[in-house]
C-alpha cells in the first residue's frame, strides 16, 4: 500500500512538472514572437509614433508642437510604443499558445465553442482599439485642445501622450470584450441569460458611467462608448442563448 501511494505521488509530481515545463515552453514561444516582431518594427519606431500621435497633432493650435521634457524621451517613447505594438500584433499567436496549453483538458464540445470565442475575443479587441483611435481620440483631443484658456499654449510631452493614448486604447479594447465575458459567465453557470436580461437597466446605467469616466465630459463622446458597450452586451446574451441551445442539442 505504501509503495502504491508513493507511486501515485510520484506520478502526480511528474504530471505537475510536465505541465509547468509545457507552460514555460509556451511562454518562451510567446516572448520570442514579441521580440521577433519588435526587432522587425524597431527601424520604423519613429514612424509608428508619428502615426499614433496624429490624432493629437492634428488638433494642436497653429504653432504648437509636441515636446520632450526628458533627455531620453525621444528614444524611449518610440521604443516603448513599438514594444506595445509588437505585443498587439502577436496577440493571436499568444492566444494560440494559451489554447494549445489548455485544450488537452477540454471535452470535444467545449473545444467546439472555445475556438470561436478565442477568435471573437481577438477581433473584438482589435475592433475596440481601432474604434478608440479613429473615432474617440479625435473627439477627445478636439475637446481638450479647445477647452483651455487662450493664453495657455498646449505643448504635450511625448511620454505623457503615450501613457494617455495607450490607456485609452487598452480600455476600449477590453471594453469590447463584453460579449465574450457575457458568454463565458453564462456558459460557466455563474449567471444566466434571463438573469442578465432582467438586470439590463443597471447594465445600461453602468455603460454610461464607464463612458463618462473614459471620455470627455460631453454627451456625444460618452454615448459613443456607452451605446456600443450596451449593444455588445446584448450580442453576448443573444449568442449565449444560441450556444446554450446548441450545447443542449449536442449533449442529447
**Residue 214 vs residue 234, higher pLDDT:** 234
DSSP string of 61-102, one letter each residue: PTT---B--STTHHHHHHHHHHHHHHHHHHHHHHHHHHHHHH
Q: What is the pLDDT of residue 1?
A: 53
In sequence order, the 6+-apart residues with CB closer than 8 A to the CB of 160 are none
CB atoms within 10 A of CB 51: 13
Which residues pair with residue 157 across a beta bridge? 67
pLDDT at 21 over 50: yes
The lowest-confidence range among 52-56, 190-194, 215-219 is 215-219
Q: C-alpha 5: how far from its chain's center?
A: 45
Q: Cα(104)–Cα(111) distance, rounded to whole angstroms?
A: 9
Q: Can you give the pLDDT at residue 12? A: 57
Residue keyed to cell 524611449: 76
Q: What is the pTM of this model?
A: 0.81
CB 30 within 8 A of CB 90: yes
Question: What would the pLDDT profile of 72-123 be if each residue is shown by its tens digit?
Answer: 999 999 999 999 999 999 999 998 898 888 877 777 766 777 788 888 889 9
Helix axes 158-175, 73-102, angle to 10 degrees: 20
CB 179 within 8 A of CB 120: yes
Amino acid at each position: 500500500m505504501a509503495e502504491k501511494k508513493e507511486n501515485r505521488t510520484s506520478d502526480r509530481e511528474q504530471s505537475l512538472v510536465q505541465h509547468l515545463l509545457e507552460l514555460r515552453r509556451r511562454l518562451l514561444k510567446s516572448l520570442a514572437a514579441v521580440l521577433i516582431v519588435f526587432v522587425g518594427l524597431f527601424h520604423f519606431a519613429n514612424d509608428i509614433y508619428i502615426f499614433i500621435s496624429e490624432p493629437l497633432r492634428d488638433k494642436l493650435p497653429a504653432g504648437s508642437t509636441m515636446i520632450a521634457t526628458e533627455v531620453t524621451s525621444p528614444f524611449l517613447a518610440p521604443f516603448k510604443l513599438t514594444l506595445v505594438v509588437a505585443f498587439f500584433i502577436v496577440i493571436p499567436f499568444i492566444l494560440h499558445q494559451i489554447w494549445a496549453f489548455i485544450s488537452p483538458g477540454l471535452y470535444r464540445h467545449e473545444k467546439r465553442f472555445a475556438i470561436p470565442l478565442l477568435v471573437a475575443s481577438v477581433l473584438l479587441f482589435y475592433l475596440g482599439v481601432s474604434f478608440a483611435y479613429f473615432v474617440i481620440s479625435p473627439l477627445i483631443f478636439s475637446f481638450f485642445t479647445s477647452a483651455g484658456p487662450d493664453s495657455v499654449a498646449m505643448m504635450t510631452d511625448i511620454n505623457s501622450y503615450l501613457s494617455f493614448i495607450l490607456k485609452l486604447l487598452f480600455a476600449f479594447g477590453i471594453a469590447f470584450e463584453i460579449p465574450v465575458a457575457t458568454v463565458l459567465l453564462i456558459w460557466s453557470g455563474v449567471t444566466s441569460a434571463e438573469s442578465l436580461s432582467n438586470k439590463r437597466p443597471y447594465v445600461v446605467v453602468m455603460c454610461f458611467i464607464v463612458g463618462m469616466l473614459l471620455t470627455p465630459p460631453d454627451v456625444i463622446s460618452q454615448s459613443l462608448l456607452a451605446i456600443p458597450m450596451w449593444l455588445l452586451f446584448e450580442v453576448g446574451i443573444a449568442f449565449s442563448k444560441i450556444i446554450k441551445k446548441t450545447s443542449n442539442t449536442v449533449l442529447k
